Amino acid sequence: MERLQEYIDSRYIAGVRLREASFFILTALAEQPMHGYGLMKAVGELSAGQVRLRAGTLYAALDRLTEDGLLAVDREEAVEGRLRRYYRLTDQGASVLAAEVEQWQAAATVATARLRRRGAGRLGLAG
Amino acid sequence: MSPVGERVGLDRWYRWLLWAYPAWYRRERGQEMLTTLLDAARPGQRRPTRREVLDLAVQGVRCRLRLPRGLGYRIVALIVVPFGALAGWAIAGGLAAGMLAAPPGEREAAEVAAAAVGQEPYNVPGPAYRCPDYCNHQWRRGGDAVVVFDDVPWRNNGLDHTTVVYWDRDLAVPATIERARQWLAADGWSIDERQFPPGASGPFGAPVEGFTGYRGGVAVHVHRQADAAPPLHLTFEPGRRPEALAAAAAGGAVGGLVAGWATIAWVSQRYRRHHAGTLRATGVVVYNLPILVVMVLLGVLTAYLAVVFSSSPNSPAVLVPTLTMNLLSVLWIPQLFAVGIVVGILVAARPAPPDLVPRPGSEVGALWQP
């Protein structure tokens, strides 16, 4: 278990950051399990239309995240004779997402502070 | 068309597009993806959009070419894929070199030579020699000749050739070479100066001046050796510009690389799906035996073709340093080592399924884990 956690830490926290699509997929699943089409819609809404996932890209991301243990299949349903598979966030997935959010928040704080100082400097010069 | 009919038509289109994915993936995900695709379709949509087609095609190919995570798979790919590229290089180069025209016969060669040089060889057709086996031809001093070499496969790449020789020293001057160059160029031959660069020397160190012309799969080497006998040669043999053969070989290398990668990806995916964590070492070796056999065969083929290429003046070897060709000809030695490494990895690292966490301190399966 330690090794798996080490791997996830090195891959997602100290090392490579989550891709934008993966970030929004994990975010969408943070509240409740969802199926493929639900995820496509949720990612579009959460990203304010910036990330539009198509089915091929969505399932490539789902494969990757499931393989890494960040997602798991929650249940399967048959709707009008067609298969729907729901995915849920695992504990590891929640940890990775939380760490990612923390990093973005820290980065955003630094950027905001610098912009404030820049704005203050300009005002000072103008005055 | 009714909404139901539209839906059925779209369903067919998506099913067809999902063929971009491997069969095992379609079995696992196909129905689910189809549901998602149909859910996401606009009302009244009859065909997939261009973006959908591109997305499914790209992701399907990526899925086919994706290696499972794990160091072991990467090491095996690192060993197998370069050999695939080398084999593709050798096979495509060999095929391109093999699809050449036969050299002209005595009479036709003599006619071209006469027009190019401006003088008919004496006594033509005169002495003509065929060498059905190894032919250590002795030129007849003082007599022009048209010689047809019917070569055995292990000599001169098995390329038969026809040589017209002139003994007239007054003819073997730079002006004759220039005249032949201009006439052949005007006759549609592509002239290449690289075979006889300035300062080149022939047998016995005699300086050589000349060029090579290419047309329709036939090459003619025109050269003079002032201090040698006979002093003026026109040799016709199957050949194309080295660039053409090199392009074919390079295309083959790219094809071999892709094929090698696709093969190892397919084997690795299959291996991981069916046998990870269940096979013992012997089973692993047996399962991978076909790919190991193919690797050895490709290595032998590459080494053989490297030897053949290095003996032909028309082959891509012209553009490849001799050292590289010599290294290729002994490729079977590292090939055997590579096979040994692959077997060693497969035997040493018993794979574990992707969801099995190794026991603390255990290295079992480490090579096959992400």
Q: Which of residues 90-119 of A touch B (CB under 8 A)?
A: none
CA distance B247 to B253: 10
**What are the pLDDT tens digits along chain B (370 aa)?**
566 666 678 889 999 999 999 998 999 899 999 999 999 998 888 899 999 999 999 999 999 998 887 777 777 788 778 777 877 777 777 677 666 667 777 778 888 888 998 888 776 555 555 555 445 555 555 556 666 655 444 455 455 677 888 877 788 888 999 999 999 999 999 888 776 766 666 655 667 788 889 888 888 888 888 776 678 888 887 777 777 777 887 888 899 889 888 888 887 787 777 665 544 455 555 556 666 666 666 666 666 565 555 544 444 444 444 445 555 555 666 666 666 666 665 555 444 444 444 444 444 344 444 4
Where do the DSSP E strands lie in A51-125?
A: 71-79, 82-89
> The tokens of B8 are what?
């059925």
With an 8 Å Cβ cutoff, are B55 and A83 in contact? no
CA distance A110 to B325: 58
CA distance B256 to B252: 6
- N residues, chain B: 370
Contact status of B37 with chain A (Cβ, < 8 Å) = yes
Contact status of A60 with chain B (Cβ, < 8 Å) = yes
Q: Which of residues 66-85 of A touch B (CB under 8 A)?
A: 67-69, 79, 82-85
Give the per-residue pLDDT at B291: 62
Residue B153 CA neighbour count, 13 Å, CB half: 3
* ipTM of the prediction: 0.80
Give how far B367 is from chain A: nearest CA, Å: 13
Instruction: Tally Cβ neighbours within 10 Å of residue B187.
Output: 12
With an 8 Å Cβ cutoff, are B59 and A3 in contact? no
* DSSP for residue B156: G
Give the per-residue pLDDT at A65: 92
| pTM to 2 decimal places | 0.61
Q: How far is CA A5 from CA A66, A72, A96, A98, B224, in A?
A: 15, 16, 10, 14, 75
Tell me the chain A residues in contact with residue B58 when contact means C-beta distances shorter than 8 Å: 56
DSSP string, B229-246: SS-EEEEEEE---HHHHH
Tell me the chain B residues in contact with residue A54 when contact means C-beta distances shorter than 8 Å: 51-52, 55-56
Domains along the sequence of chain A with CATH: 2-126 (1.10.10.10)
Q: Residue A99 pLDDT > 60, yes or no?
A: yes
Work out the percent of chain A whose per-residue pLDDT is above 90: 49
- On whether the CB atoms of residues B358 and A3 are closer than 8 A, the answer is yes
Give the per-residue pLDDT at A16: 43
